[in-house]
Amino acid sequence: MSNTDLIIEERSRDIGDFLVGRILPFRKKRMVGPFIFIDHMGPTEVGPGHYMDVDQHPHIGLSTLTYLLQGEILHEDSIGSHQVITPGSVNLMVAGSGVTHTERTPSALRDGRKIMTHGYQIWIALPELQEEMAPEFHHIEREKLPSWQDGAASFVLICGTGYGKTSPVPYLSPQFMVEIKTSEDYILDVKGNLEGEIGICIVEGSIDACGEEIPKGNMLVSKVEGVCKIVVKKDTHLLLFGGEAMEERHIYWNFVASSKEKIEEAKTRWENKDFPRVPGDNSYVPLPGR
């Protein structure tokens, strides 16, 4: 996913125990644990004349995590990965010192059909000591992710650790991402189950927090680490994310780093076409603002 225009609108508001807004980062809270950017993709219809074709673009200093709810995306990168992402599976690309990738509608779906695509593309900042690591790619199928039921709520641990479980998705800093779906109203109390900063993304439905009903399309960030108690309404779909607080990072376009110098070096490398390239792909997204 190419973040061509990272615009942070002043939408966040304080309702007591939480900050509420529609995108991450907020002006008031730029990271939740190591999570630095969350993009809600769709739902949108792809088909003739409107396929996904994100050309070759670079990343440094982060891991990209793609989690689809509908549709399929073909991921190809400069490591040589060629993977169709399907709903419920997890794609994790560790950019490290530098990687390029493309995201496209698979050729098998370019047959005249119209397909809904819906999901989340997430950036997780790397610890400073791992910013220069060699790039990696991991694909984990849904059936390998820990899942369980608690009353009216079903849970899936997408990445990290929580609820006494560990996801097989590799991670480099204390973190968690949990999917929750409810069939009836459910009291969610994460104390003792998730540690660190906590964010809540409302995919569908709504929650009651601090005496207010918050509908889908919003994100909440708890102002108290490790403690979060809300009422999740019937037929609601949530993503919880967060972890141990991380020192704030610099961000420019698709680059994340602990220093401005690393950002400037990456900009020069991309302009000089010194990044590794996706095999067989000659596309190129220019550096914004040049």
Tens-digit pLDDT profile for residues 219-234: 888 877 777 789 999 9
Query: Same domain for 117 and 166?
Result: no
Query: Same domain for 216 and 154?
Result: yes
Give residue 48's domain range.
35-140+249-276
Question: pLDDT tens-digit profile of 165-194?
Answer: 999 999 999 999 999 999 999 999 998 999
Query: Same domain for 70 and 187?
Result: no
Look at residue 265 and tell me if it is in a domain.
yes
Question: pLDDT tens-digit profile of 45-84?
Answer: 989 988 999 999 999 999 999 999 999 999 999 999 999 9
Query: Same domain for 68 and 120?
Result: yes
In the structure, what pLDDT confidence band is assigned to residue 12 with cuts at 50, 70 and 90? low
Query: Same domain for 44 and 130?
Result: yes
Question: For the chain, give me the number of helices (H) and strands (E)?
Answer: 1, 24
Query: Same domain for 159 and 72?
Result: no
Query: Same domain for 106 and 223?
Result: no
Give Cβ neighbours of residue 58 (< 8 Å, ≥ 6 apart).
95, 98, 99, 100, 254, 255, 266, 269, 270, 275
- More confident site: 4 or 91: 91
Query: Same domain for 86 and 230?
Result: no
Is the peptide bond preceding residue 286 cis, with omega within 30 degrees of 0?
A: no
Look at residue 284 and tell me if it is in a domain.
no
Query: Same domain for 20 and 40?
Result: no
Quick one: 42 exposed, middle or buried, by C-beta within 10 A (0-12, 13-18, 19+)? middle
Look at residue 285 and tell me if it is in a domain.
no
Query: Same domain for 52 and 135?
Result: yes
The answer to which of 111-120, 138-147, 166-175 has the lowest mean pLDDT is 111-120
Q: Quick one: pLDDT at residue 19? A: 58
Number of domains in the chain: 2
User: Mean pLDDT of all residues in the chain?
Assistant: 90
Rounded to two decimals, the pTM is 0.91
Q: Quick one: pLDDT at residue 35? A: 96
Look at residue 282 and tell me if it is in a domain.
no
Query: Same domain for 136 and 68?
Result: yes
Residue 263, domain CATH: 2.60.120.10
* Alpha-carbon distances, residue 215 vs 19, 68, 220 (angstroms): 14, 21, 11
